[in-house]
Amino acid sequence: MDFKKMTPVIVHAFHYDLNDKPKTKDEVNFGLRKAQKQNEDGTTDEGKDGNYYEINVVFDVAPAPGDFSVSGTISQIVQLKNYYGDGSDLEKSDYKLQSRPLVEYIETLTYEVTQVTLDKPVNLNFKANF
């Protein structure tokens, strides 16, 4: 499915904690919500080329060996080309395609933060749960 990014990726929250006791978890969830786009003249865009959607990824991750946790919410507005449904009938592959840029942000933020805090960067490699 072809899509157009309407906004940059927005990091609403990103939280890093060192864990007192080692624990692991891998909760990465994806949400898709229909959105409206406002034109510069104040009118609502009709979405002739496809509907607009807000993509959200909510995450709470503590990778093995469980020394730290990261959590937060990241989103982006996209237009799904020639798609006019509510999102419930999309294929898993479409969800993965839409969420991957946001998941890459989580991986990059975690890499950078752990490079500073642990003096060694940690590469995450996870996927959203569908």
Residue 55: which H helix or E strand, with range? Answer: strand 52-62
Bridge partners, 15 (sequence order): 71
- Residue-wise pLDDT for 15-37, tens only, equals 999 999 999 999 988 899 999 88
**What 3-state DSSP class applies to 43?**
coil
Amino acid at residue number 10: I
State pTM to two decimals. 0.86
Closest alpha carbon to 75 in 26, 16, 31: 31
pLDDT greater than 60 at residue 129: no
